[in-house]
Structure 1
Amino acid sequence: MKAFLYIQLSAGKDLPYQQPILSAVKEALPDVTVLDIDLDTDKLTLQMATRLLEEATQAVVCIKGEQEQAGFGSILPLFEALLTPHQNRLLLILGQPARLLRMLQARPQLLVKQVQSETEIVQQAAVFFGELD
């Protein structure tokens, strides 16, 4: 199973209900399981996200955040799983989440790419999943 997990380092009440990036990924990569979470995500959904990452043969995780954000809130346990090296996992970083970037720099064995746009996210995911060359 291929999975795409979109994490926003923001509270849900400030976010739009539908994320255009999720629609773009579903359209471009219809065989990929898609899930999104934010700092207000409940425990059950976090468990689903963790299980999705464990069961996926390939996973792209896109993390969107800004520099001024303080922490990871309730999704910290998921980040512990994300920071464990996995050969079939790509982390895409959208924005400048300073704390996360420092954590990732300390783990050079992780496959991490900085992206600038949603179009680039879809393109990087397609290349990683072997859908594009």
Structure 2
Amino acid sequence: MATFIYVEVNQKFSSAYQKPMLEQVKKQFSGLDYLDLDGFSEEFLTKQACQLAELADICGVYYKSFAPEASLGATLPLAEILIRRSQPTLVILQGTHIRLEKLFSNRSNLIFLKNPEELTLQEHLSHLYSNTLS
């Protein structure tokens, strides 16, 4: 199983339904399991995201940070699972978030990209998912 999880980290609740990165990945890699959440997500959704991350053979997580010091809130358990994973894991941080950078940098068990160029991002996503979906 391969999964892609989109996470927004913000200081206040946002009801934005347009998530261009998530839509782009859905279009490009149609065979993945997808989920999106934020720091204000309900416990059920957070548990579902954690379960997907734990069970996935391959996992990509895209964090979009709107505030460098925003609370991780409901997304913290997911971050804890990601740092313990031994399977192929790609974590992308778009924006700046002090705690996420500390959690994910220098982890040998995952690939961490901070504010990657579009081409670099696409290359990493293609490499991660290409063997799974072919």
TM-score normalized by structure 2?
0.82
27-36 vs 121-130, which moves further:
121-130
Q: Offset of 1:69 from its aligned partner?
A: 2.3
Distance in 2, Cα, partners of 1:11 & 1:71: 7
Instruction: Classify 1:94/1:109 alpha carbon distance in 2 versus 1 (closer, same or farther; 3 Å).
Output: same
Question: SS state of the match for residue 84, structure 2?
Answer: coil
Distance in 2, Cα, partners of 1:36 & 1:111: 20
Are 1:50 and 2:50 an aligned pair? yes
- Provide Cα deviations, 1:68-96, integer angstroms capped at 9, x if missing partner: 32321122222211121423111111111
Q: Which runs of 5+ in 2 are unaligned?
A: none
> Is the CA contact 1:12–1:38 (under 8 Å) kept in the aligned structure 2?
no
> Is the CA contact 2:83–2:104 (under 8 Å) kept in the aligned structure 1?
yes
Q: Offset of 1:120 from its aligned partner?
A: 5.0
User: In angstroms, what is the RMSD of aligned CA positions?
Assistant: 2.3
97-106 vs 1-10, which moves further:
97-106
Superposition pairs of residues 1-133 of structure 1, within 5 angstroms: 1-10=1-10, 13-66=13-66, 68-105=68-105, 107-116=107-116, 121-130=121-130
> Is the CA contact 1:21–1:118 (under 8 Å) kept in the aligned structure 2?
no
Instruction: Classify 1:69/1:106 alpha carbon distance in 2 versus 1 (closer, same or farther; 3 Å).
Output: same
Q: Offset of 1:121 from its aligned partner?
A: 3.9
Give the partner amino acid of 1:88.
P
Distance in 1, Cα, partners of 2:116 & 2:110: 19
Instruction: Classify 1:36/1:12 alpha carbon distance in 2 versus 1 (closer, same or farther; 3 Å).
Output: farther
Q: What is the number of residues matched between the two proteins?
A: 131
Give the partner amino acid of 1:96.
T
Instruction: Classify 1:8/1:117 alpha carbon distance in 2 versus 1 (closer, same or farther; 3 Å).
Output: farther
Question: SS state of the match for residue 37, structure 1?
Answer: strand
Distance in 1, Cα, partners of 2:52 & 2:118: 22
- Identical counterparts, % of pairs: 25
Q: Offset of 1:123 from its aligned partner?
A: 4.2
Question: SS state of the match for residue 129, structure 1?
Answer: helix
Question: SS state of the match for residue 130, structure 2?
Answer: coil
